[in-house]
Amino acid sequence: RAGRAHHAGKGPMIRLDTIKAFDAALDALPEADAAAREAAAARQAELTKPAGSLGRLEEIALFLAGWQGKARPSLDNSRAVIFAGNHGVTRHGISAFPSDVTVQMVANFEAGGAAINQLARHAGLDLHVVALDPDRPTADFTVQPAMTEAECLDAMMRGAAAVDAELDLLVIGEMGIGNSTSAAALCARSFGGAVRDWVGPGTGLDAAGQARKVAVVEQALATHADAPLTASETLRRLGGREIAAIAGAVLAARHLRVPVMLDGFIASAALAPLVAQQPAIIDHCLAGHCSAEPGHRRLLHQFSLAPLLQLDMRLGEGSGAAVAVSIVRAALAAHNGMATFAEASVSGRL
């Protein structure tokens, strides 16, 4: 809570040590607790307000109730995790910043100096950082898979290990120079469409830089065109270690029934291959905000997720998601703290 990030410990893990285990975990997803959600809805119906008058705040409370399995959900133990890694594709000049910045920003997270440190503190989030060998970039995915099968599985397991069963909410963030290029490639391969519709400025590319980025993604898609269109193959070929870790963390959270708050384009794109294979994986996730990165709006539409906020943010780090946690806290304050009509001696509807 002091604002410094620390390394995540090992929590309960689902098995992600083989592709078969990953596919099995993705295929057999637990559902929300319908009885808890119904109990929360019954409470909402008795609170001193017209039905539906708090809009999405009411739906957020019901969402949390279902995944936490209690009619009065809470945010007493919530965690933001930043996954950091580097990408070999940066050799093509697709970022305005050098790869060294990833390692430097991990140090900044751990020292408490980044935006996410301040925003996590404000939101009451415990902040963890998981650095996935940023001194060892993935391979250049325009010519070969970004990761071997073993490397991708290891990253997913390290992501899963950052999730504990007792968490009330998991906030997902990332850091990785070049990862908006990876995100665009993942989305294009998972959902199709013109590559230029998925590519944006990232850390601040000009028009020439974005054109270069489009060409790099198109080359990558052509290189891997004959590969199986499975979540695991798409992740390992076009993702990064931090992106695979996000996929593992969200999958582990689902099996532990921990609700997830997604951040921006990259954090969301990590799930694109999973959603393409198993659309229900997104059901325990909230979209914290809609990033200024243009592909994010298109991706949230594919996910059928409506963002809680739209503040033109594009920092990453989990920053937009952390700001959105304050909205969730407001929803739960109203849901848990309001009096019922009977308690307040207020006449209900006729």
Reported as a single tens digit per residue, the pLDDT across 38-77 is 999 999 999 999 999 999 999 999 999 999 999 999 999 9
The pTM assigned to this predicted structure is: 0.95
Q: How confident is the model at residue 313 (pLDDT cuts 50, 70, 90)?
A: very high
pLDDT reported for residue 9: 42
- The answer on pLDDT for 183 being more than 80 is yes
Would you please indicate which residues are annotated as catalytic (active-site) residues? 317
264-273 average pLDDT score? 98
pLDDT reported for residue 55: 97
Question: String of b and e for 231-241 (b: at least 16 CB within 10 Å)?
Answer: bbbbbbbbbbb
φ, ψ (nearest 5 deg) of residue 6 = -135, 165
- The answer on pLDDT for 145 being more than 70 is yes
285-294 average pLDDT score? 96
178-195 average pLDDT score? 97
Mean pLDDT over all residues of the chain? 95
Q: How confident is the model at residue 7 (pLDDT cuts 50, 70, 90)?
A: very low
pLDDT reported for residue 203: 82
What lies within 8 Å, CB to CB, of 83 at 6+ separation is: 130, 132, 159, 162, 172, 173, 174, 175, 241, 242, 243, 245, 246, 249
Q: How far apart, in whole angstroms, are the C-alpha atoms of residue 284 and residue 67?
A: 7
